[in-house]
Amino acid sequence: MALFQKKKQEPVTGVQLHNSPKELAVTLIKTLCICNVICVVVVFSMGGIMAQGTWGILLTALICLLIVGGTLYAQSWGIGDKDANLIQFGRTEYDRYKPLKMGLLALAPGLVSDVLLLFSKITGLVDLLWVYRLMNAPVWPLINLIHPYSIAPQEAMPEMILMEGTEYEEIVQATAATPGCSWPKLILMMLLPLIYIVFIWVGYELGRRRISISNRLVYENKHAQKGTKK
């Protein structure tokens, strides 16, 4: 719990900075929600490509990760850059775990989808994998790589031999709440959103150190062009 202890971030004047991990996590949550909607559109738009095989899924995954990763990186870079000013002028203290705190708090609402998926797995009453996919659209293609799924039981679980039974029983066998999605696969899917913390941490630290990858690439490109002209 010491990790989440709020450090003193108010200047001598008493003006509140609104720069705590909790407050910043709220803005990151809004960003994730927007990125999630965009990625839902991307996945549905590229459904035909994803159906072509692994390469199509990987291409879609790359696009979704670029969207969410680039957005989180840029926002976290700005936060780190602002903190660098506050630290320089003694208005706040450097907290090496701040990006981790922001990331974990930003992922907290996603626990709802984890609970729904666990409920689906444990009870087997209803298939909620599609809800989990919608709520975690930036990693939707990666989820498909871990656990391919379709309505047809034979396609969803090719390793299972369907036993004789009712039509309802055969459909249930193909859902995420059955042995068709093993516990290791389930846990791996639930850990996928932790990728977001990497973008947040890298963006924050580079921003705090005033290291801009885009500016460096532009500068090196211009420098290389000048050298070619000479």
User: How many C-beta atoms surround the C-beta of residue 91 within 10 A?
Assistant: 17
What pLDDT tens digit does each residue of the chain (230 aa) get?
Answer: 555 555 544 444 455 667 899 999 999 999 999 999 999 999 999 999 998 889 999 999 999 999 999 999 999 999 999 999 988 888 888 889 999 999 999 999 999 999 999 988 888 788 888 899 999 999 999 998 988 764 333 333 334 444 445 444 444 444 445 556 888 999 999 999 999 999 999 999 999 998 887 666 555 555 555 555 54
- The answer to whether residue 116 is domain-embedded is yes
The verdict on residue 9 lying in a domain is: no
* Cα separations in angstroms, 20 against 85, 182, 200: 15, 39, 15
Could you tell me the residue range of the domain that residue 102 belongs to? 18-210
Domain membership flag for residue 219: no
Count of domains observed in the chain? 1
Evaluate whether residue 227 is within a structural domain. no
- Please report whether residue 215 resides in a domain: no
Diameter of the chain measured on Cα atoms: 79
Is the pTM higher than 0.95? Answer: no
Q: What is the pLDDT of residue 2?
A: 55
Report yes or no on 3 lying in a domain. Answer: no
Angle made by CA atoms 83, 86, 90, in degrees to the nearest 5? 135
Which segments of the chain does DSSP mark as H helices, in order?
Answer: 21-45, 47-50, 54-88, 98-107, 111-123, 129-135, 140-146, 153-156, 167-173, 183-191, 195-208, 213-229
Q: How many CB atoms lie within 10 A of CB 159?
A: 6
In a domain, 10, yes or no: no
Q: Rounded distance, CA 205 to CA 98, Å?
A: 10
Q: Which among 34, 80, 42, 28 has a CA at the least distance from the CA of 197?
A: 28
51 is a domain residue: yes
- 14 three-state secondary structure: coil
